[in-house]
A and B are shown apart, each in its own frame.
Chain A
Amino acid sequence: MKILNLAKQAILVPAGIQDADIEKIMARLLTSSVDAADIYFQSSHSESWVMEGGIIKEGSHSIEQGAGVRAVSGEKTGFAYSDRIELPVLLEAANNVRAIGRQGQEAQIGLIHAANTVQYYPVANPLKSLGEQQKIDLLRQVDTQTRKLDHRIEEVIISLSGVHETILVANQDGSLAGDIRPLVRMNVSVIVVENGRREQGSMGGGGRSDYNYFVELNRGLEYGREAVRQALVNLEAQEAPAGNMTVVLGSGWPGILLHEAIGHGLEGDFNRKGTSAFSGRVGERVASDLCTVVDDGTIPGRRGSLSIDDEGTPTENTVLIENGILKGYMQDKLNARLMGVKSTGNGRRESYASLPMPRMTNTYMLAGKYNPEEIIKSVKKGLYAKNFAGGQVDITSGKFVFSASEAYLIEDGKITRPVKGATLIGNGPDVLTKVSMVGTDLELDSGVGSCGKEGQSVPVGVGQPTLKIDGITVGGTSV
């Protein structure tokens, strides 16, 4: 069956909402002269399991559903939502939001089903992909195997979660689009202790797939192995250096550099408003010519991928920076219209209860020509940052930070000893101009990213090959 029909079956049929009802709500919205309007329906089932102290400690199940109604006139947006998907409630919501536009003509609209779009993930419910007992067995197996890896392991905490989300979005042109989005995630964190020193390590992954993802290739066990490896490295780690130095970033998750340093600054809303350090710079050089960066929502099964965004626009592979030149921004419908371009399929929202805005999907840098070993070898003295925790950016000043969770000193072209607690801080618009070598080893992260913007969290992906940056401030304690 078509995705759209499945989505209607999941949301509208149980609520007793017909196509004619959606037409009625839309007509109500369009009685004002608005430039755009949409009705967004969402139904989301999720669960999570936690194993800790060798027992299955917690399990929870959650159902979230509702609808949001939006009308846009010029730069003005009216918005209301409800947890109740009922015609009178949604008509009332439409009454509330249409006040944003000037009084206008009564409009008639006819609902048209949007054309089939490419699907980048399966529609089946991931929560049902394993039986309850199989989920428990998977957690127990990862726990037992992980604990066996080293005698210094004191605690292992494993979480497993899944979401099955269905959305429907009706636009003012009458088009109705739907999507069914699975998302699974597993995480293993360990605490190790040696001679009274305690450290932690953590590794996880997932994507728009089902729980078998963690069984295949023994991924669950690999997360455990990697968490233990990182924790043991931390046991050896000494104080990080402080100051400006050459930094080599590892492949994969360190791509949050791109997300923080330039990604947010290239979101359409900030650029329309002129509040980003990148505003008005399309066509200018913002990175060394080794750098090509894209935002790609179309990679099958990735955590940040979407078949259509939350405004019904199919996602794309959008070139943000090509050979160092800024090519364009990521857009939702509102900002695209106001800037006179088209949406790039980046209109996303946390849920029906919040407004969409331009958000990233999977943001990564394309591979270059250097061997990762060659890159390390070229550094006389510097830092090799292999893995990171989170980051943050001030899009106006361009300043961004991100914190290394695994880093080493590079001395005379060799990785020598591990260091801890290093935070990197830089300036978004010039950090990529200092990229002097790009590796061949492009890798995407394992599927753990969540991005927060204006209080809304959405799953994202990042990636990059090994990179060398000539000069960035490293904030250790060793001065």
Chain B
Amino acid sequence: MATLKDRIEEVRKAFEEAAPQAGDAKSVEELRTAFLGRKRGRIMLLFEELKSAPAEEKREAGRLVNELKVAVVDRLQALENGALMAVRPAREIDLTLPGRQRYVGRPHPLTLFQEEIERIFLSMGFAIEEGPEIETDYYNFEALNFPPHHPARDKWDTLFIKGDLLLRTHTSPVQVRVMERTKPPIRIICPGRVFRRETPDPTHLPMFLQVEGLVVDQGVTFANLKGTLEHFLRALFGEKVKVRFRPSYFPFTEPSAEVDIECLVCSGRDPDCRVCGGTGWKEILGSGMVDPQVLKNVNIDPEKYSGWAFGLGVDRTAMFAFGIPEMRYFYENDLRFLRQFGAK
């Protein structure tokens, strides 16, 4: 006589033969009754038989019956799901089709980049200030310690309107206006459009965006300028980026510093690098301690207060950060270019 173990094997085989035939919900239900039916189900009968099995067989056979039951239950569930799917006419829904999206417009890359810069300074307690783009000679030059007819003005080649009106060549006039109407502590950034009389080429345009910043308070030092700008550049270009401050000249700061970061393209390893010219460094911003004459011009006592300021071209920095070879791309407004940056 076959052992209980053999009979369990027999039932398993029978189920496996019958299962593939069950194509619709009805036959799956019949299969369930035949094997799991409470009274006559073949697996249920095995459980009955188990009760009277000899002790030495009971343990092993019990495990096998239980395993079989779990397998049958799972298989029946799967068959049932399949049967339900089969009810729907094939291919009415192709789930592999692309999802339906609502198109959301993309911000201009310069706006995106400028907002990134603003966010970093806002987190350091700076406020955002703006001012007119058509300025006077006084705010654009004289208050900033550019004497009339000084060759220093040549670097800020100017588009003139009439009388003493001109298109601002930097957003520094906003700094002057804020210092005129506010008592220190002052901690601002001034983003905006600026204009220069430039013949367009890959890295020069007659209009571009700038962000300048200014801090005026008691006890502000060049060390603060360094620390804050280093923090800013690391926040913008990554924690590990190397930053270098070197002496320079601007009429409105004393001492003045250009700030370079290491070339992200070649890290100083390519003597013919198109981005850094092989120096390994890329000039990113100009900065310095606010010239005492500038403070005097706005009635802030330079003996009591000191300050630092910086200025950065948004376009050129964005070119560097994104590896964009020509500045004019930003103003051609080719949507195939602009739309790439929404995902940035």
A, B bound: no
Interface residues of A (CB under 8 A from B): none
